[in-house]
Amino acid sequence: MTKNKAPDGHDDGKPRCGWCGTDPLYVHYHDTEWGVPERDDRALFEKLILDGFQAGLSWITILRKRDNFRRAFDGFQPEKIARYTPKKLDALMQDAGIVRNRAKIEGTVLNARGWLEIMEKEDGFSNYLWNYLDGKPKQNGWASLKQVPAETPVSQAISKDLRKRGFTFVGPTIVYAFMQAVGMVNDHLTDCHRHDIVKKLKRR
């Protein structure tokens, strides 16, 4: 028996945001992670770094290398990354399992140091970020991908402040993609099966 397919081509019949396509890894990410409110300080750091590495690339490229990134960057523990030596940076540049971009690798060290400063001065990285939205995800109601903005005043404000604190690869477009991914905004399209599920998620 042939399974019924949704208009977007998925065999399970569930409508999804068109950007995730039909790649099983991408679909799983869309269905389990993207848009789910994240409150863990370290997990937020990891996602911000990976979104920075995505600049100029597709997210599926980063997603396929995520385990390699986690191994190479010590599980994205900022305390360790902030102390990386030139020798460690050279080793990362030789690691074919990640994106070997010198500026992005060096920027990860700067971002780790900025994260540590925010953890000390702002009652945590999570609180620092979520305070821009009064702690609550913004619920959008886009019917088409064409309606979804590339950046917003909030992402611009976060970007500006992060850069003042020494962060790199945190432009407003990267920050907005990060906000979408970690559930600071619910940008699942209204006809996506995840839209209402994500909307009902409570603060942890």
Class for domain 18-199, per CATH?
mainly alpha
For residue 202, the model assigns a pLDDT of: 62
Distance from first CA to last CA of the chain, Å, rounded?
Answer: 42
| Cβ partners under 8 Å of residue 161, min gap 6 | none
The DSSP call for residue 192 is: S
Contact call for residues 97 and 165 (beta carbons, < 8 A): no
Residues of the chain with pLDDT under 50: 1-7, 204
Name the pTM for this structure.
Answer: 0.92
Per-residue pLDDT at 10: 57
Question: What are the tens digits of pLDDT across the range 72-85?
Answer: 999 999 999 999 99
Q: What is the pLDDT of residue 13?
A: 84
CB of 20 closer than 8 Å to CB of 55 = no
Please state the separation of Cα 182 from the chain's center in Å: 6
Domain ranges of the chain: 18-199
Residue-level pLDDT at 5: 43
pLDDT at residue number 6: 47
